[in-house]
Amino acid sequence: MKAAVPPLLLALSLLSLLSLLFLFSPKSSSFSASKSVLSPTPSPRSASRLKVFLADLPRSLNYGLLDEYWALSAPDSRIGVDPDAGLRRAAAAARRKPYPGNPLIKQYSAEYWLLGDLETPERLRESSFAERVFDLDVADVVFVPFFATLSAEMELGWGRKGGFLKKDEANGDYMRQKEVVDRIRASEAWRRSGGRDHVFVLTDPVAMWHVRHEIAPAILLVVDFGGWYKIDSKASVNSSKMIQHMQVSLLKDIIVPYTHLLPRLQLSENEQRHTLLYFKGAKHRHRGGLVREKLWDMLVKEPSVVMEEGFPNATGREQSIKGMRSSEFCLHPAGDTPTSCRLFDAIQSLCIPVIVSDEIELPFEGMVDYTKFSVFVSVSKALEPNWLVNYLRSISQQQKDKFRSNMTHIQHIFQYDNGNPGGIGPVAPDGAVNSIWQKVSQKIPMIKEAMTREKRKPEGASIPLRCHCT
């Protein structure tokens, strides 16, 4: 036995040496770097699928709203022209109505694609991470099939000016919000969990505006938290300095991507980019978006910087495609809320995002490493004279090429469209819908723990002075 020890040690030493050589070889490092942008995600077949129960709501609160939308004859009052004129005839003949192409509405279409996945026949759903179940007792979550964004946008575009703020029968959106809350909160599913395991899609900043406090315990799918904390700031003065109740939190809620409006550019189609920095959008914004106007005034006269005031109509779309595809960097300053669809259009256009938004939250963090393809700049730094353009010019071509290459590895994760009529059909295994279901799945242990804690509280027990965001 003693004679056998040295050869064994020698063999182990050789194996260790070979492992180190492989680890530090150029080929190994290159492979690791290219895949590190996107963390590996389990396939539906190899992992336990998320079990989703579909709440019982009438068709009038989801697909019926599409029927109403396509029956409208007047254009969106905010645009003045009909951005869906080309789709309208096809929509009239379609058995399953498409989601509007109107960019003010389409950018928030996650509700349509998620419900479409759950409505897809199970035999076609092998690629979905979510398994639709019909027994509430085995469900992980309860999905509420309300097209909250479409409801809100129809009131904004075709209702009274400022009417979406009014709580009256003339506000169709308010009446629908109230109907949803009354139905859901009266259900057995809500009573058993206090709503903690319910999933609402609230991508529009004003979606379910009047009833947010009533659905606050639920899992909310939002594009960012802009506009939510404002409600808390109106609360009574907190002399005890205890944590105020929050309606949204990364502990329970999920940041989802906007639906991009520009087509995907392949790396093989990429051409020379002559512009350093590009931005197209509204100059004047409110709240945290005031930084946009300051940046505009600083950058508008800079050589190789293009700052365009524009609206997302047909002409604006073509200008944005041309501008983003011919620019090295695309500016993403905060607007009325910390994010916008612009970020995801830039990614699909392989235009390196320059994010100037201190309070931004991004979709699929933990699954996607944004630092591998984006430039993050603090508001204070960006507002220093000449700092931003000098910094961007200092980034080497090699680094810019690497950013662009990394973007090609994650473009697909922000894509919702499954190419099927009415949005009903198999989803991409690595697309936005499945990525959202995976993020929901990650919340389940915490949600179940909160439900268990709630059950054991005796009647009359005082409520701990803590954040109720779980």
Q: What pLDDT score was predicted for residue 73?
A: 86
455 CB neighbour count, 10 Å cutoff: 9
Cα dihedral across residues 185, 190, 193, 195: positive or negative: negative
Q: What is the pLDDT of residue 246?
A: 56
Q: What is the pLDDT of residue 17?
A: 44
The token duo for 133 is: 């179940």
Q: Which two tokens stand for residue 239?
A: 């002399």
Look at the block and give the residue holding tokens 């309860």: 142
Could you give the dihedral angle defined by the CA atoms of residues 287, 276, 363 and 148, in that order, rounded to the nearest 10 degrees?
60
Calpha distance 141→138 (Å, rounded): 9
Residue 286 structure tokens:
């409110």
Give the pLDDT of the chain (470 residues) as one tens digit per residue: 444 445 544 444 444 444 433 333 333 333 333 457 877 655 555 458 999 999 999 999 999 999 999 999 888 988 878 889 888 888 988 989 999 999 999 999 999 999 999 999 999 999 999 999 999 999 999 999 999 999 999 999 999 878 888 999 999 999 999 999 999 999 999 999 999 999 999 999 899 999 998 999 999 999 998 866 554 444 444 433 333 445 788 889 999 999 999 999 999 999 999 999 999 988 877 655 688 889 999 999 999 999 998 765 666 889 999 999 999 999 999 887 888 999 999 999 999 999 999 989 999 999 999 999 999 999 999 999 999 999 999 999 999 999 999 999 999 999 999 999 899 999 999 999 999 999 999 999 999 998 888 888 888 887 665 555 44
**Which whole-number Å values give the CA distances from 399 to 295, 387, 394, in the listed order?**
25, 19, 10
Closest CA to 76 of 147, 146, 151, 159: 159
pLDDT of residue 438: 97
Domains and CATH numbers, the chain: 50-255 (no CATH), 267-414 (3.40.50.2000)
What gap in Å lies between CA 355 and CA 177, rounded to an integer?
34
In whole angstroms, give the CA distance from residue 448 to residue 442.
11
Contact 97, 147 (CB under 8 A): no
What is the distance in angstroms between the CA of the first residue and the CA of the last residue of the chain?
61
pLDDT at 41: 59
Kindly state the tokens that stand for 268.
């093989």
Reported pTM: 0.87
CA distance 439 to 431: 13
Residue 141's pLDDT is 98
pLDDT value for 316: 82
| Bridge partners of residue 352, in order along the sequence | 329
3-state secondary structure string across the chain: CHHHHHHHHHHHHHHHHHHHHHHCCHHHHHHHHHHCCECCCCCCCCCCCEEEEECCCCHHHCHHHHHHHHHCCCCCCCCCCCCCHHHHHHHHHCCCCCCCCCHHHHCCCHHHHHHHHHHCCHHHCCCCCEEEECCHHHCCEEECCCCHHHHHHHHHHHCCCCHHHCCCCCCHHHHHHHHHHHHHHCCHHHHHHCCCCEEEECCCCCCCCCCHHHCCCCEEEECCCCCCHHHHHCCCCCCCCCCCCCCCCCCCCEECCCCCCCCCCCHHHCCCCCEEEEEEECCCCCHHHHHHHHHHHHHCCCCCEEEEECCCCHHHHHHHHHHHHCEEEEEEECCCCCCCCHHHHHHHCCCEEEEECCCCCCCCECCECHHHCCEECCHHHHCCCCHHHHHHHHCCHHHHHHHHHHHHCCHHHHCCCCCCHHHCCCCCCCCHHHHHHHHHHHHHHHHHHHHHHHHCCCCCCCCCCCCCCC
State both tokens at 219: 């899992």
Within a 13 Å sphere around the CA of 23, how many CA atoms are in the beta-carbon half?
6
